[in-house]
């Protein structure tokens, strides 16, 4: 304690002499602050009278975070964004918004109602994504709980259980029950208890009984976890004033043959998908709005970059804006333009850099949002979460917000790989039709309530042409660190594409912070050599 106290006193002295930045740097040196500056007051060391300029290419989250931090530290910043909006794949669509798909530009025809929005890109926030949580707090972006798993939602697989939908809880409880019963039998048969004490065997049996909700004889006879047979609306809720009748147990061999346990069944236990999860109140783009509210530097949209030239003393960027070409000179360039579009821009990057950029492939997930005239899923006791299907749609999400409201926007498909390609190849109306056709297998009246839709094939979205950069293991080994490092001490590639978490906002923030740290090293060395 004495030691800590004395270090704090020392920091106070440093602060009175060198300001808050000095305190922070010193605290870092003393190990009092985590190096990753979780929630630190200022990520970038103030320039304190010196002058440095940064041009930020692309208006994605890594650029917004960088500009926000840099300008607070005294850097001159300008953000150039080619499309009509900033935020990149943080895209929330509401009534009248442009859906800028190459070849299929459309307007969103949802009702003009703040609750009727669709998060077409980023759509959920895990609590451990600490940059994101930090900026939501700092920028005043209100968050609410996001329900990512709903045990009352459905699993539907064409080839299994006659193609009929099964409640998630039903599958889960029965699968665990059967597995637990099998394990208990194995224990009883002395198959693997030689090394275990009798007490341990008892404990394992106890665990298995709890795990699978087995009876006293370690047999699975069904469980309220799987749900009761429902007597219909306005009848007493089963199990309340009677014993309730369990739903029929699923066929164990069908469970084994099902593909749902491959991934879906355990999905919500994965680090990025487990409770608690959050979403910004009124749409994911409230995060973008939060940055835009606080950033004072110019943010230009419809500003398309033509050329990036690294020079001895800085970076020169030529862009087209409002019918003319402009050239911007800056000390540094921070760049979150998708790597596959960067290849189409004039540059003087070394060949190895271009080769590295070309080694990263682009992914192309597909989403469709459907405005439903009635929140029919709530009549099925579903209030959020995901139904899973073996069809091209893969998933149906139900809105967590505006419970018992008038209408709602469901996600009618969130597909990857071949399933995404299936939708991408169709025109928007055909995609809508296919999503309704497939959704009907889960909700028979699905089509009846569907009023309007937005379809987003990320592979075809203008100024994106992809989502979730795909790194092969080899490309990652060869090029990840290389592309992370500043090029010629001037150019910093960033964004979720340069993280091991492509497709997540936290990947973009983490990459931006890495670039900011590298940039500061260069600035510190430079200032040190000139003063």
Partner 1 sequence: MAGMAATAGIASALMLTVTTASAHDYSIIPDQFVVCTTCHGVELKGNKSVDAPRLNGMEAWYVKMQLQAFKSGWRGTHPQDLTGMEMQPQAAVLSDKSIDAAAEFVSHVLPRTETLGHSIVGDSSRGERLYATCAACHGANGQGNEALKAPRLAGQNDWYLLRQLEKYRSGVRGHVPADTWGQQMRAVIKVLDSAADSTAAMADVVTYINTFSSNSS
Q: Which of residues 414-453 bind partner 1 (CB under 8 A)?
A: 421, 425, 427
Contact letters (x/-) for partner 1, 188-227, by CB under 8 A? Answer: ----------------------------------------
Q: Taking the complex as a whole, how short is the minimal distance between the CB of residue 84 and partner 1, in angstroms? A: 10
At 455 the three-state DSSP class reads strand
Q: Taking the complex as a whole, how short is the minimal distance between the CB of residue 505 and partner 1, in angstroms? A: 23
Check binding of 145 to partner 1 (CB under 8 A). Answer: no
Q: How far apart are CA 216 and CA 228, in angstroms?
A: 21
Among 340, 374, 437, 447, binds partner 1 (CB under 8 A): 340
Is 333 in contact with 315 (CB distance < 8 Å)?
Answer: yes
Measured from the CB atom, the residue of 35 and 323 that comes closer to partner 1 is 323
Q: Taking the complex as a whole, how short is the minimal distance between the CB of residue 453 and partner 1, in angstroms? A: 17
Q: Which of residues 497-526 bind partner 1 (CB under 8 A)?
A: 526
Measured from the CB atom, the residue of 106 and 249 that comes closer to partner 1 is 106
Check binding of 49 to partner 1 (CB under 8 A). Answer: yes
* Range list of H helices, 189-237: 198-212
Interface region with partner 1, contact rule CB under 8 A, candidates 21-29, 70-78, 174-182, 410-418:
70-78
Check binding of 86 to partner 1 (CB under 8 A). Answer: no
Measured from the CB atom, the residue of 42 and 327 that comes closer to partner 1 is 327
Using CA atoms in the order 22, 23, 25, 30, what is the torsion angle rounded to 10 degrees?
Answer: 140
The candidate with the shortest Cα–Cα distance to 62, out of 490, 361, 497, 358, is 497
* Range list of H helices, 107-167: 130-138
Q: Taking the complex as a whole, how short is the minimal distance between the CB of residue 523 and partner 1, in angstroms? A: 9
Contacts of 91 (CB under 8 A, 6+ apart): 85, 119, 120, 121, 122, 284, 285, 456
Check binding of 341 to partner 1 (CB under 8 A). Answer: yes
* φ, ψ dihedrals at 51, nearest 5°: -135, 130
The candidate with the shortest Cα–Cα distance to 509, out of 122, 45, 10, is 122
Interface region with partner 1, contact rule CB under 8 A, candidates 123-131, 259-267, 344-352, 435-443:
344-352
Give the chain's end-to-end CA distance (angstroms, integer): 38
Q: Which of residues 360-379 bind partner 1 (CB under 8 A)?
A: 362
Measured from the CB atom, the residue of 259 and 304 that comes closer to partner 1 is 304
In sequence order, what E strands does 331-422 have? 332-335, 346-347, 361-362, 366-372, 386-389, 395-397, 408-415
Measured from the CB atom, the residue of 37 and 315 that comes closer to partner 1 is 315
Q: Taking the complex as a whole, how short is the minimal distance between the CB of residue 225 and partner 1, in angstroms? A: 45
At 223 the three-state DSSP class reads coil
C-beta atoms surrounding 426 within 10 Å: 17
Alpha-carbon separation of residue 125 from 6, 80, 336, 349, 475 (angstroms): 40, 27, 21, 35, 28
Check binding of 50 to partner 1 (CB under 8 A). Answer: yes
Q: Which of residues 466-495 bind partner 1 (CB under 8 A)?
A: 466
The candidate with the shortest Cα–Cα distance to 329, out of 320, 321, 337, 318, is 318
Check binding of 301 to partner 1 (CB under 8 A). Answer: no
Q: Taking the complex as a whole, how short is the minimal distance between the CB of residue 103 and partner 1, in angstroms? A: 3
Q: Taking the complex as a whole, how short is the minimal distance between the CB of residue 335 and partner 1, in angstroms? A: 15
In angstroms and rounded to an integer, the radius of gyration of the C-alpha atoms of the chain is: 27
At 434 the three-state DSSP class reads helix
Check binding of 258 to partner 1 (CB under 8 A). Answer: no
Check binding of 304 to partner 1 (CB under 8 A). Answer: yes
Q: How far apart are CA 531 and CA 520, in angstroms?
A: 16
Interface region with partner 1, contact rule CB under 8 A, candidates 21-29, 51-59, 113-121, 265-273:
51-59
Among 274, 301, 320, 484, binds partner 1 (CB under 8 A): 320
Contacts of 349 (CB under 8 A, 6+ apart): 308, 310, 357, 487, 491
In the complex, the residues that contact partner 1 under the rule CB under 8 A are 49-55, 76-78, 82, 102-104, 298, 304, 306-307, 313-314, 318, 320, 323-331, 339-341, 343-346, 357-358, 362, 421, 425, 427, 459-460, 462-463, 465-466, 526-527, 530
């Amino acid at each position: 304690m004495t030691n800590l106290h004395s270090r704090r006193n020392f920091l106070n002295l440093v602060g009175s002499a060198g300001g808050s930045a000095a305190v922070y740097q010193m605290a870092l040196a003393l190990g009092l602050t985590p190096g990753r500056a979780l929630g630190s007051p200022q990520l970038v060391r103030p320039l304190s009278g010196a002058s440095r300029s940064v041009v930020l290419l692309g208006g994605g989250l890594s650029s917004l975070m960088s500009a926000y931090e840099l300008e607070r530290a005294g850097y001159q910043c300008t953000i150039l964004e080619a499309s009509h909006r900033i935020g990149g794949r943080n895209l929330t669509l509401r009534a009248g918004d442009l859906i800028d798909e190459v070849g299929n530009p459309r307007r969103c025809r949802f009702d003009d109602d703040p609750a009727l929005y669709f998060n077409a890109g980023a759509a959920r926030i895990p609590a451990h994504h600490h940059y994101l949580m930090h900026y939501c707090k700092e920028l005043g972006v209100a968050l609410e709980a996001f329900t990512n798993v709903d045990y009352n939602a459905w699993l539907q697989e064409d080839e299994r259980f006659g193609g009929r939908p099964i409640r998630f809880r039903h599958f889960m409880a029965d699968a665990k029950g059967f597995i637990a019963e099998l394990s208990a039998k194995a224990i009883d048969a002395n198959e693997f208890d030689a090394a275990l004490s009798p007490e341990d065997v008892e404990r394992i049996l106890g665990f298995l009984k709890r795990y699978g909700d087995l009876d006293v004889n370690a047999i699975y006879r069904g469980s309220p976890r799987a749900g009761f047979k429902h007597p219909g609306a306005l009848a007493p809720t089963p199990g309340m004033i009677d014993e309730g009748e369990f739903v029929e147990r699923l066929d164990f061999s069908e469970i084994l043959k099902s593909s749902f346990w491959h991934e879906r069944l355990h999905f919500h236990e994965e680090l990025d998908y487990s409770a608690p999860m959050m979403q910004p109140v009124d749409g994911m783009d409230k995060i973008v709005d939060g940055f835009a509210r606080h950033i004072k530097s110019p943010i230009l949209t419809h500003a398309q970059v033509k050329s990036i030239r690294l020079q001895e003393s800085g970076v020169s960027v030529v862009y087209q804006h409002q019918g003319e070409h402009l050239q911007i000179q800056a000390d540094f360039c921070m760049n979150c333009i998708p790597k596959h579009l960067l290849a189409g821009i004039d540059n003087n990057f070394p060949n190895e850099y271009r080769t590295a950029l070309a080694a990263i492939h682009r992914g192309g997930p597909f989403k469709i949002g459907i405005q439903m005239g009635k929140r029919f899923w709530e009549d099925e006791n579903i209030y959020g979460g995901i139904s899973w299907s073996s069809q091209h749609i893969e998933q149906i999400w139900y809105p967590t917000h505006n419970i018992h409201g008038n209408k709602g926007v469901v996600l009618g498909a969130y597909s990857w790989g071949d399933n995404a390609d299936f939708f991408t190849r169709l025109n928007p109306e055909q995609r809508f039709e296919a999503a309704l056709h497939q959704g009907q297998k889960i909700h028979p009246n699905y089509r009846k309530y569907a009023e309007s839709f937005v379809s987003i094939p990320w592979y075809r979205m203008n100024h994106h042409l992809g989502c979730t950069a795909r790194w092969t293991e080899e490309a990652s080994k060869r090029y990840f660190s290389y592309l992370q490092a500043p090029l010629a001490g001037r150019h910093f590639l960033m964004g979720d594409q340069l993280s091991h978490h492509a497709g997540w906002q936290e990947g973009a923030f983490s990459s931006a912070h890495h670039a900011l740290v590298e940039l500061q090293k260069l600035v510190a060395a430079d200032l040190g050599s000139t003063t």
